[in-house]
Amino acid sequence: MSLLETNQNPLASLDDWEDDIVKRYPEPGTKAKEDYRNYVDSDRVATVKEFYRLNHTYQTYDFVVEKEKEFLKFDKREMSIWDAVDFLNTLVDDSDPDTDLDQLQHLLQTSEAIRQDGHPDWFVLTGFLHDLGKVLCLFGEPQWCVVGDTFPVGCKHSDKIVYSEYFEANPDFHNPKFNTKYGVYEPNCGLDKVKMSWGHDEYIYQIMKDYLPEEGLYMLRYHSFYSQHREKAYDHLMSAHDHEMFKWVDKFNPYDLYSKAPTPPDVKALKPYYEELVAKFLPPTLKF
């Protein structure tokens, strides 16, 4: 079956992928995992599996190279962060049963949880920015190359990646150039030399790489790399510096996954603080 003959967007909501992660990796001390996103009469499991079937089939090394060429020209739209947030708000989906918050409110919940714990302002801003790369959906990208657990391409796929059995349909799985432990890479070469599957993490990292501290950039770039920061499946590619920086990725992820609450943040009251914060680190407009 060709890509054009499939449903490229099987998730009812982009948050379905994140909800699946909450179930796979419940955070100690949070509410019970079954209390998150309690869908009734839903085929969520089937849609998440179909999402990963598409993702694992089509996320090849050459596909990532082509997406980098297409999107890292940053010629889709020039806008301020606030215009980007408004743009992202068009992704709000009524199928999410856990919250009716728009994207700005979700971003504020993440960043406010970080701020309340007394973290540096760049960390707060990272939380506010982390999902902005999902504007890729509004540029025509299907869900399976916007969200989803990320993983290295160009080397053997770890069996620690969720639904790893679907990689058998990926052309790289059968290509001797790409299907060995190291593939096109060298041992402990460092993740800066490794291509990751294409999605919102890499995209927002590339947009922000000149503006945030390295710790924040690691959070943006690798917050969906669960097979490493939860399963340690790619230690053989990581450098000592990567391991140090992943301590910050580990700090970030609970705020990303477990900060959702039914009470919306007071956007009007909070916006002046975030306007000042954004202006401190970022230029008036950015190219997307």
3-state helix, strand, coil in the chain (%, to 5): 55, 0, 45
Domain boundaries, position 230: 3-287
**Average pLDDT of the chain to the nearest whole number:** 87
Say what the pLDDT of residue 39 is: 39
pLDDT value at residue 37: 41
Kind and range of the H or E run holding 43: none
Q: Token digits for 255?
A: 């705020």
Q: How far apart are the first and last CA of the chain?
A: 32
Q: What total number of domains does the chain contain?
A: 1
Determine the Cα–Cα distance for residues 181 and 112; give it in Å rounded to an integer. Answer: 40
Q: Report the 3 state secondary structure along 219-240.
A: HHHHCCCHHHHCCCCCCCCCCH
- Highest mean pLDDT: which of 3-12, 27-36, 61-70, 98-107? 61-70
Q: In this predicted structure, which of 45-54, 115-124, 173-182, 216-225 has the lowest mean pLDDT?
A: 45-54
**Torsion sign (Cα): 132, 138, 139, 143:** positive
Instruction: Output 128 or 33, whichever has higher pLDDT.
Output: 128
The top-scoring range by mean pLDDT among 40-44, 94-98, 107-111, 120-124 is 120-124
Chain-centre distance of CA 164, in angstroms?
Answer: 18
